[in-house]
Amino acid sequence: MNRVKRTLAPYLLVLPGGLWLLLFFVVPMVTMFSLSLQQGDIVNGYVFTGHWQTYVDAITNYQTQLIRSLVYGLITTVALVVMSFPVAYWIAFYGGKRKSTYLFLILLPFFVSFVLRTISWRQILTDDGMLLHPLKEAGLLSPGFHILGTSYAVIFGLVYNFLPFMVLPIYVALERIDPRVVEAARDLYAKPLTVFRKVVFPLALPGVFAGVLMTFVPASSDYVNSGVLGSSSTTMIGQVVQAQALANSNYPMASALSFFLMAVLLTGVFSYARVLGTEDVMNAAAR
Amino acid sequence: MTTQTLTPPATAATPAPRRRFRLTGERAMFAYTWLIIAWLVVPILIMIAFGFNNPKGRYNQTWQGFTLKWYKDVFAISDLTSALVISLGIAVISSLLAGALGTGIGYALGRYRFRGADGLNLIMFATMSSPELIMGISLLTLFVSAGIGLGAVTITIAHVMFSISFVSTVVRARVITLDRSIEEAAADLGASPWTTFWKVTFPIILPAVFSGVMLAFALSIDDFVVTNFTAGTTVTFPLWIWGATRVGLPPQVNVMGTLIFAAGILIAVVTSLRSRSKAKRD
């Protein structure tokens, strides 16, 4: 009796949460895929017709926004790796006793709502705002100069909002490096740059991968930054999906676009994983 | 956590010029790190400052004088206040639910080997790495197809869904590092498995459960994307702000943002100080 109880224990513990994930994560994904192949409308109901044409329409009508989102996501991710590495490196190797304080400061933005932070940047960067107005008054910028509504503003917002997601995983990877490995490289007369290139960076790669995963996917599907800081010429696919789902109630189109986007993002992530070697990826994922 | 040893091993073998170079590189990185921190803080400082601004018109973006009136009238906009109350309510309920469900999964994954654990791990990984946009749309299609009306209940369901994996991961990490000999000692002293769990194991993993619940609370109160798709006509705090962007934000939003920020910092500092003093005592 007791043995039966013990073998049942993990299943009983997992059951409620597992069911919740099954019902509200797995089932919705299936529903979404099915709906993307259905025809009809919200009033008369939907019928499954295997209508792949929605995908063709989605891709041909919105290829500009799709490509733009991936390009923005890519630029953001590359900028994040370059910008975050020195920060993570300095905190991990020179942070000393203050490490947790520095990490806390990096995480400070998360104590303010994501939407509110982005709007705060809009208030700063607006045409007659506190940044551009004085510069224009001083004649350093032409009166017609603006930042808001450009792709620079959108990418700026994406980089700002996702920076901590890149610093943290790289920090975790660097922090795990055994200092003796670095010392050994130095003892073998490796120059500082060689130590970095041949020892530190390869060991930090799983962290970089985790960071890319945590930033590229959400950045390319984001619609808050392009909505608040961008204009009609910076529309990203997230905005299209949001408009199709919430304004037009065109659920098949929103589903098809979402499913296609997810497929593209996952293909990108997995080919990146193949290049890097699956073992490192599993380690990064497990963290 | 001890890598202080990694500061340059200043041996006599290191040539002097290179040491000086490394020192300036270190200084440059120090300055750069602080520059990034300053950049991260800019919009927060602006938010705090403009809660004290006294704007004449509808737009609160140029400094027009100091006032405390928005702190006095912080709840004057009833829609905004009710949005905040709804957000807090959803965050409390969903973080407690996700805490309970996630602890079950985290404990099982950390303690037992069982059939289906790999699949469960995969689903958890998928929920943590899926774009919020896609989770939002897929939940919307489910609720629409099933004819479930959108509102506070569907928002809560969604928030519990994306929080479970985070809670489980935190709890699992604690359970894995648990010293089993303490439990064995309790069993040797005649405690039943049930008693052992509640008297020994649970108090040890409680801090992890607590930080999981706090994480779920933070994820819920700040969530915009998934909430946007599952809210229907219900308005939460982030949704209200989003809706008000086109007409200009009232200073009350800055005040509420500042108060939430201060409360968050306070809780984080207190818990970290408490765990630090506890670590010292142990």
pLDDT over 70 at A280, yes or no: no
Question: Which two structure tokens, joined as six digits, stand for B205?
Answer: 């993993």
Q: Among A48-52, A111-115, B261-265, which is the least confidently predicted range?
A: A48-52
A113/B257 touch (CB, cutoff 8 Å), yes or no: yes
B60 to chain A: which residues are within 8 Å by CB? 123
Q: Check residues A266 and B121 and name the one with the higher pLDDT.
A: B121
> Which residue in A has a C-alpha nearest to residue B256's C-alpha?
A112
Question: What are the residues facing A47 on neighbouring strands?
Answer: A39
pLDDT over 70 at A3, yes or no: no
Quote the pLDDT of residue B1. Answer: 42
Q: Which pTM was predicted?
A: 0.87
Phi and psi at A222, nearest 5°, equal -75, 145
Judge whether B54 and B65 are in contact, CB under 8 Å. Answer: yes
Taking only the tens place, the pLDDT of each residue in A120-138 is 999 889 887 788 888 888 8
B217 at A interface, C-beta within 8 A: no
Quote the pLDDT of residue A143. Answer: 79
Tell me the pLDDT band of B35, cut-offs 50, 70 and 90.
Answer: very high
The rounded percent of chain A whose pLDDT value lies above 90 is 48
Taking only the tens place, the pLDDT of each residue in A156-178 is 999 999 999 999 999 999 999 88
Mean pLDDT value across residues B179-191: 86
ipTM score for this prediction: 0.87
Side chain identity at residue B272, one-letter code: S
Tell me the pLDDT band of B23, cut-offs 50, 70 and 90.
Answer: low
Tell me the pLDDT band of B14, cut-offs 50, 70 and 90.
Answer: very low
B264 at A interface, C-beta within 8 A: yes
B9 to chain A: which residues are within 8 Å by CB? 183, 186
pLDDT over 50 at A9, yes or no: yes
Mean pLDDT value across residues B130-146: 93
CA distance B180 to A218: 39
The rounded percent of chain B whose pLDDT value lies above 70 is 90
Alpha-carbon distance B3 to nearest alpha carbon in chain A (angstroms)? 7
Query: What are the distances in angstroms from CA B215 to CA A36, A191, B95, B122, B198?
Result: 34, 43, 8, 21, 23
Tell me the pLDDT band of B2, cut-offs 50, 70 and 90.
Answer: very low
Mean pLDDT value across residues A7-33: 93
The residue among B68, B77, B86 whose CA lies nearest residue B253 is B77
Q: What is the DSSP letter of B53?
A: B
Q: Check residues A183 and B205 and name the one with the higher pLDDT.
A: B205
B126 at A interface, C-beta within 8 A: yes
Alpha-carbon distance B89 to nearest alpha carbon in chain A (angstroms)? 17
Judge whether B159 and B136 are in contact, CB under 8 Å. Answer: no
The residue among A165, A271, A278 whose CA lies nearest residue A219 is A165
Alpha-carbon distance B282 to nearest alpha carbon in chain A (angstroms)? 19
pLDDT over 70 at B16, yes or no: no
> Which residue in A has a C-alpha nearest to residue B217's C-alpha?
A111
Half-sphere exposure of A189 (CA within 13 A, CB side): 1
Alpha-carbon distance A153 to nearest alpha carbon in chain B (angstroms)? 14
List A residues 192-231 in contact with B (Cβ-Cβ < 8 A).
192, 213-214, 217-218, 221-224, 228
Mean pLDDT value across residues B56-85: 85
Tell me the pLDDT band of A144, cut-offs 50, 70 and 90.
Answer: confident
Quote the pLDDT of residue B65. Answer: 82
CA distance B153 to B155: 5
First to last CA, chain A: 37
Query: What are the distances in angstroms from CA A284 to CA A208, A287, B126?
Result: 9, 5, 14
Mean pLDDT value across residues B15-30: 66
β-strands A38-41, A45-48 pairing: antiparallel
Of A89, A113, A192, the CB nearest to B22: A192
Q: Check residues A243 and B245 and name the one with the higher pLDDT.
A: A243
Q: Among A232-236, B8-12, B110-114, B193-197, which is the least confidently predicted range?
A: B8-12
Mutation target to probe the A interface, by most A beta carbons within 10 A, among B140, B143, B148, B245 is B140
Tell me the pLDDT band of B123, cut-offs 50, 70 and 90.
Answer: very high
A17 at B interface, C-beta within 8 A: yes
Taking only the tens place, the pLDDT of each residue in A191-235 is 888 888 888 888 898 899 889 988 999 999 999 999 999 998 999
Tell me the pLDDT band of B276, cut-offs 50, 70 and 90.
Answer: confident
Question: What are the residues facing B53 on neighbouring strands?
Answer: B66
pLDDT over 80 at A279, yes or no: no
Quote the pLDDT of residue A282. Answer: 46
B233 at A interface, C-beta within 8 A: no
Mutation target to probe the B interface, by most B beta carbons within 10 A, among A116, A168, A188, A269 is A116
The rounded percent of chain A whose pLDDT value lies above 70 is 93
Question: Which two structure tokens, joined as six digits, stand for B46?
Answer: 């602006």
Mean pLDDT value across residues A81-105: 92
Residue A7's Cα: distance from chain center in Å? 39
First to last CA, chain B: 17
Of A20, A46, A90, the CB nearest to B30: A90
CA distance B38 to B172: 35
Quote the pLDDT of residue A5. Answer: 63
A173 at B interface, C-beta within 8 A: no
A228 to chain B: which residues are within 8 Å by CB? 245
CA distance B182 to B179: 6
